Structure 1
Amino acid sequence: MQIAGLDPIVFAAAFGVALFAGFVKGAVGFAMPMIMISGLSSFLPAETALAGLILATVSTNVAQAFRHGVAAAVKMLRRYGRLIGAMVVAIILSAPLVTVLPGRAMLLLLGLPILAFTLSQLLGRQLIVPLHHRGRAEVAMGLLGGFFGGISGVWGPPVIAYLLSVATPKAEMVRVLGVVFLVGSVILLAAHLGSGVLAGDRLVLSAVLVVPAALGMALGVAVQDRLNPERFRKATLAVLALAAANLVRRGLFG
């Protein structure tokens, strides 16, 4: 007997990964795709892992983007329009590469620079983007995040790195991440419906994993509301570092 094309034990492991990823997303506002791609790719093919995270990502991003109302979401969309626009373009252009780029290379390309950034931040070497460079930095990080998003389903790290570098307040950071991630995840969904990655049993798996992801997120949001700004920042960096380190491990050792 199989569930969504997987043996029951493998499916249970995928369920657990989605539940944990949802909890972390609820607590710090991001990291679901990173945790799911790094966790699922530990026991599933890269394309199946990517497909598995897509619908869970879309559904939880809807909840996060509109948690504080439509007006707040629209405000973030306008304020960070350059970042979002650049990311969308890059996702569309890079999505076809997922079927030709080696899975281990994909993981290394994403994991190494993010690990370097988070470790430097945790060691106290904060990157601060001057005000007059923020427009260009938004476009650059949007393009970089979109490139990785198209090939791996993970576009958050460059965006989060930018938001940390401009000292974005906790509440605004969570809101803008919700909007950015929602736009990106819808584009990713459309791109991989077209690429063939999200089809058949992979589409069923992606739909089923929405349930544990949503449950985990609901639990995580309760934790987020209790975190003060500095603890929130440190938790954000710690999650980024762990996820990036696991991606590097997978890229190096399979």
Structure 2
Amino acid sequence: MPDVFQIIAPELLLFACGVTVLAGFVKGAVGFAMPLVMVSGMGILIDPQLVVAGIILPILISNGWQVARAGMGQAREAVAEHWRYILIVCVMILITTQFVRVIPADLMFIVLGVPVVALCIVQFAGWRPRIAPTLRRPFEWLAGLLAGILGGLAGTWGPPTVLYLLALATPRDRQMSVQGVIYMLGSVMLFAGHLQSGILNAQTWPFSALLLLPALVGMWLGFRLGDRFDQERFRRVTLFVLIFAGINLIRRGVMG
């Protein structure tokens, strides 16, 4: 394995592992937000392109775990019902990942920070869109387009997906399995896209691989302890923290 300390200092690697444990815990407890926590947390101190590389393998493996935990039967049903949304998300992730390396560092901080802040504010406000059945098909394409662009550039398509499922009045007990499938397939596209873009390469993949263990430990703790928390209060505290972290990313991008 290449020496990971050639691209990141030991103290920053330790910091990244701590953020990743927290991100895994949040995902295990509430079912999403791992990339939001990792991007906004690690982005405080670490180069944004390295942050994007670092989240790839933890997101891929953790989403696979989430799908397996929900059961493959529900996964097949989710694909059959939401294939249009899944298709456009996956295609747009593949396309937009190719632009990450050409975005200047300051602009990349803004690209990472703005979606974090905007999506958290939308969720914190409790906005619940409602779509008439006659508008479902165009809404699927439009929502998938937005989610795929955010996924390719910032590695996070979870909050748009949550809003999409809420707009379709998807039952709460079904949302987790549907989310797992969409996140899993999207993370496969993120992995493939960044192999092609060069973000995930011989120098950066060891960093992403080293974050797998803290991600899975955090997720396991989230599964075990999540039911003991007031889910709504925990979610709101998480969103508050993410908003402030996202604002800091935007500040770095604006001030240089």
Q: Map 1:83-232 onto structure 2 (within 5 A).
A: 83-101=85-103, 102-121=107-126, 125-225=127-227, 232=231
Corresponding residue to 1:33 among 32, 35, 53: 35
SS of structure 1 residue aligned to 2:206: helix
Question: Structure 1, residues 192-250: CA drift from partner, whole Å, max 9, x if none?
Answer: 011110113311000110000001101101234557xxx64665465345424422331
TM-score normalised per structure 2? 0.88
* 1:245–1:17 CA distance, 2 compared to 1 (3 A): same
In structure 1, the residue matched to 2:20 is 18
SS of structure 2 residue aligned to 1:168: coil
Question: Structure 1, residues 139-164: CA drift from partner, whole Å, max 9, x if none?
Answer: 21111011011111111121112223
Q: Is the 8 A contact 1:170 1:232 kept in 2?
A: no
SS of structure 1 residue aligned to 2:70: coil
Q: How many residues align?
A: 248
Question: What is the alpha-carbon distance in structure 2 between the residues aligned to residue 233 and residue 164 of structure 1?
Answer: 16
In structure 1, the residue matched to 2:246 is 247
Residue identity opposite 1:247 in structure 2: G
SS of structure 2 residue aligned to 1:83: helix
Aligned CA RMSD, in angstroms, stands at 2.2
Q: CA deviation at 1:43?
A: 1.0
The percentage of aligned residue pairs carrying the same residue is 33
TM-score normalised per structure 1? 0.88
Q: Map 1:60-99 onto structure 2 (within 5 A).
A: 60-99=62-101
* 1:196–1:2 CA distance, 2 compared to 1 (3 A): closer
Q: CA deviation at 1:69?
A: 1.9
Question: What is the alpha-carbon distance in structure 1 between the residues aligned to residue 223 and residue 169 of structure 2?
Answer: 22
* 1:120–1:33 CA distance, 2 compared to 1 (3 A): same
